[in-house]
Amino acid sequence: MVESSGQDIKGLMADMSERGIKYCIGAYVDIHGVQKGKVVPVDHLAHMAAGSERYTGYALDGLGQKPNEDELVSIPDLSHIVQLPWEPALAWIPADLSFKGKPYPLSTRVALKNQIDIARSMGFEFNLGIECEVFLLKQQADGSLVPSDPTDNLVKPCYDVQGFVNSFGWLNKVASCINDLGWDLYSFDHEDANGQFEFDFNYADALTTCDRLTFFRFMAKHYAQEEGLIATMMPKPFADKTGNGAHFNMSLADVKTGQNLFQCSPEEDPRGIGLTQLGYYFIGGILKHGRALCAAFAPTVNSYKRLVRRGAMSYFSWAPVFNSYGSNNRTNSVRVPAGGGRCESRNADGAVNPYLAAALVLAAGLEGIREKLDPGAPNEDNLYEISEQERAERGIEFLPQTLQEAVAAFQADPFVESVLGADLKAEFIRYKLEEWNSYHLSISPWEVERYASMF
């Protein structure tokens, strides 16, 4: 990653040309977090930075435009430039959308930057790490997907060394790319499902991390294609296997000193898990809006087939189903991992638009701080197994169980509009209800198999 904000753009262009870059991709995302953009020769980067590249917003999902409206422009963020390791002639640059000279409020990256500015005005820097879980699959002649390694078939393959080594060609390409870009990969492994892997790289400020997740998807898919395979962060590709999370690990730092304001020793924390009162207030805000936030963290029909206790699996799924928090207890949607100093939202999945979700969860946490919303005692037991009576007595709500339910919670919470504005909120609701209705009106093979001969 090239830090270029302190350079004049002509010097930047000259430096890029010297490094073999010929073309620049100005990449922004639609409402789903899917990349869009145009490409300019490197000697036209100054023009792109000045808004030369125009887009018909009506042609894209979730940008709120009609066919008669003026075009949007993309403004590349020149402090976050990535030269593609597999194609050095191309530079990938995350971009913000602008309309008539102003940041476009329906751009989710703009929405996140707005919340980051609010946090900084309160003296906070929002740090974020996202765990990248991904399946490496092979498409069969009938179109179905199976793990790329046919010997990766253990009932409990988590941390399996043989399965890891058998896919090392792809894993090494992805891991090397992460480190070559300076993201500091510190761990990767075979995850809990056959054909599933996880990459963990160092946290950064939230905008940088969201850019990195967006690029990670792009990069992981490319290296899979080189192997004749498919990499997917789809939340739940297989009913009988665990799904892909994209857990958000969050903390606030002092904007001046960089000190982690969530970190304290367990002895200084009355609840004993190494989190400051500020951190508890942040969690309180997340839980207050937890059901609404779930629509952004888990934004597809398929997401809610992951958020189950067991489903079609032979053992517990590890996925959260409750709007709750605890210490190092994975049955909560929000946990404080061992060592404290951060909180983790576990209902975020591989389909997340990271900018949208980060904007909302940061705003919720800041509200918790402003309103001093204490989340109460942490839940330490296995919430999958408590009775409904005990759950009700402890005030633990279920997270939404379908996309339709999640969108209803998102729509009903006034907080969402206060963060995103009426237009972006309405666009998300419109597209997600269309997705739900399209799914609901389809007839699945399961239905045909079950009912055609029954009646």
My answer on whether 76 and 198 are in the same domain is no
pLDDT tens column, 86-120 = 999 999 999 999 999 999 999 999 999 999 999 99
Taking only the tens place, the pLDDT of each residue in 217-259 is 999 999 999 999 999 999 999 999 999 999 999 999 999 999 9
CATH classification of the domain holding 66: 3.10.20.70
One domain, residues 85 and 126: no
What digits encode the pLDDT tens for the residues 356-388? 999 999 999 999 999 999 999 998 888 888 888
Domain for residue 185, yes or no?
yes
Tell me, yes or no, whether 447 lies in a domain. Answer: no
Return the percentage of the chain with pLDDT > 90, whole number.
Answer: 89
**452 in any annotated domain:** no
Please report the pLDDT score of residue 6 as a whole number.
40
Domain boundary among 83, 103, 123: 103
Question: Is 251 found in the same domain as 156?
Answer: yes
pLDDT digits (tens, 9 = 90+) for 312-353: 655 665 789 999 999 988 889 999 999 999 999 999 999 999
Whether residues 415 and 357 share a domain: the answer is yes
16 and 159 together in one domain:
no
The pLDDT assigned to 317 comes to 59
**pLDDT average, residue stretch 55-76:** 91
Q: How high is the pLDDT of residue 117?
A: 98
Res 311: pLDDT: 62
Instruction: Supply the pLDDT for residue 309.
Output: 80
Specify whether 263 is located in the same domain as 288. yes
Domain with 395, as residue range(s), is 114-441
68 within some domain: yes
Kindly state whether residues 251 and 175 are assigned to the same domain. yes
Strand pairing category for 82-83 and 72-76: unpaired
Residue pLDDT, tens place only, 4-21: 344 589 999 999 999 999
Do 325 and 269 lie in one domain? The reply is yes
pLDDT at 266 > cutoff 70:
yes
pTM: 0.95
User: Is 273 a residue whose pLDDT tops 90?
Assistant: yes
Q: What per-residue confidence (pLDDT) applies to 313?
A: 55
Do 429 and 317 fall within a single domain? yes
| CATH number of the domain bearing residue 287 | 3.30.590.10
**Structural domain includes residue 3:** no
Strand order from edge to edge, sheet including 248-254: 204-205, 124-130, 248-254, 343-345, 334-335, 325-326
The 10s digit of each residue's pLDDT in 279-322 is 999 999 999 999 999 999 999 999 999 999 866 655 665 789 99
24 domain-assigned: yes
Q: What is the pLDDT of residue 316?
A: 66
Do 92 and 126 belong to one domain? no
State which of 72, 103, 134 marks the end of a domain. Answer: 103
pLDDT in tens, 201-227: 999 999 999 999 999 999 999 999 999
Q: Measured between alpha carbons, how far is 160 from 267 in angstroms, rounded to an integer?
A: 36
Number of domains in the chain: 2
Verify that 95 and 164 share a domain, yes or no: no
With bands split at pLDDT 50, 70 and 90, how would you rate the model's confidence at 1? very low
Q: What is the per-residue pLDDT for 385? A: 85
The reply to whether 233 falls in a domain is: yes
Co-location of 419 and 384 in the same domain: yes
The answer to whether residue 122 sits within a structural domain is yes
Residue that terminates a domain, selected from 103, 132, 151: 103
pLDDT above 70 covers a percentage of the chain that reads 97
